[in-house]
Amino acid sequence: MDNKLMLMIPGPTPVPEQVLLAMAKHPIGHRSGEFSKIMAEVTEGLKWLHQTQDDVLILASSGTGAMEAGIINFLSAGDRVLVGCNGKFGDRWAKVAQAYSLNVEKITAEWGKALDAEEFRTKLEADTNKEIKAVIVTHSETSTGVLNDLKTISGYVKAHGALMIVDAVTSLGATSVPMDEWGLDVIASGSQKGFMLPPGLGFVAVSQKAWAAYKTATLPKFYLDLGKYKKSADQNSNPFTPPVTLFYGLQAALKMMQNEGLENIFARHHRQMNATRAAMRAMGLPLFAADGAASPAITAVAPAGVDAEQIRSIMKKRYDILLAGGQDHLKGQIFRIGHLGFVCDRDILTALSGLEATLQELGFDSFNPGAGVSAAAKVLTA
């Protein structure tokens, strides 16, 4: 059926009607006073979301563009960096850093496991000459549904003095990412994830310490030169033509978030994560991420004996529910349920009912019909 496709993937995520309607307008001039007002308002909203007094800059880019900007503005060729690699996105940041001739040292964990914060501590403490210039970590590793222990890792980084550069693309807006409290120096994210917006905007938060590093960083940059964005943002403006209509949407989405409140937003994501995980357990479907290391934005499931791609295909064709598949070597091995952004408890129950019906059709009979939905409902109403 047209227009009924339900996005239960970790981006793009569903966009609320009031955000869609806010964008259904002609663009205004981006050098106008009206646009400056929007710019001022969304910048304040972004600082609120990042829990920071420092800068949050807005780019016309995907999340990768924001992350690339977060790396190249603060480092120089040959700089030694530690990159946490326990999934597709961690690997991507290692590749970006290598593309810019940084001296990359990977700290790895098996896909599905969290990074070991102690490995970062050991490396950082051994670096008495302070050669390590930055540590790059993906907070919520979307490819596996694992939440890395950013708070502990950033504590070690702060003690050492290197920059803490974070991919918070699927943690921002799902769980607390208190930039100032944790001492995070650079945070990258993208509009199509927890922001309840279509793709197209990238966000980079920058600490004072990162701006100090910017002054001596020599990697080449032009469009992604964050100094330009900062200079313009201080005048409530942009260095280049921004996607004006997405800014209307950002304004509406941040208002919605502020009405709901940070604590309520985080509680909703954690509740939906717990409900989804309880349902998988009740249905005998193994969870890919362990308790205590699970992302509040996404649940990855490794169904033994059933092809995950077959489940996804039936879910989409018959029930108009889109789940995400496994990436790289996990294709066919796992499916991923996104519960990020504009997702209500009803959406969780709907997706779980569709999953139960799909498994029934596939002859998967290790659970009593209704067991998953019932387990989820218990969590949602607790």
Ligand X SMILES: *Cc1c(COP(=O)(O)O)cnc(C)c1O
- State the minimum distance, in angstroms, from the CB of residue 285 to ligand X: 22
Minimal distance, residue 87 CB to ligand X, in Å: 8
The verdict on 89 binding ligand X (CB under 6 A) reads: yes
Rounded-to-integer distance, Cα 1 and Cα 47, Å: 40
Exactly one of 142, 207, 333, 358 binds ligand X (CB under 6 A); that residue is 142
Residue 248, Cβ density class (10 Å: 0-12 exposed, 13-18 middle, ≥19 buried): buried
Among 58, 72, 169, 187, binds ligand X (CB under 6 A): 169
> Which positions from 187 through 246 interact with ligand X, judged by CB under 6 A?
190, 193
Shortest Cβ 170–ligand X spacing (Å)? 4
Binding positions for ligand X, 122-141, rule CB under 6 A: 138
Contact between 236 and 40 under an 8 Å Cβ cutoff? The reply is yes
Query: What is the H or E stretch that residue 135 is in?
Result: strand 132-138
* Residue 10 in the binding site for ligand X (CB under 6 A): yes
36, 51, 64, 232: which one binds ligand X (CB under 6 A): 64
Piece of 95-103, 109-117, 125-133, 162-170 that binds ligand X (CB under 6 A): 162-170
CB of 63 or CB of 84, closer to ligand X: 63
Please give the sequence-ordered ranges of beta strands (E in DSSP) within 155-295, or none if there are none: 163-167, 186-190, 201-206
Q: Are 311 and 362 in contact (CB under 8 A)?
A: yes
Closest approach, Cβ 338 to ligand X, in A, equals 10
CA 63/CA 268 separation, integer angstroms: 24
d(CA 108, CA 251): 38
Handedness of CA 236, 238, 244, 246 (dihedral sign): negative
- In the numeric block, the tokens 């490794």 are attached to 302
User: Taking the complex as a whole, how short is the minimal distance between the CB of residue 141 and ligand X, in angstroms?
Assistant: 6
Residue 140: CB minimum distance to ligand X, A: 6
- Residue 167 binding ligand X, by CB under 6 A: yes
353 binds ligand X per the rule CB under 6 A: no
Q: Looking up tokens 């990768």, which residue turns up?
A: 64
Report the interface residues with ligand X, using CB under 6 A: 10-11, 62-64, 89, 138, 142, 167, 169-170, 190, 193
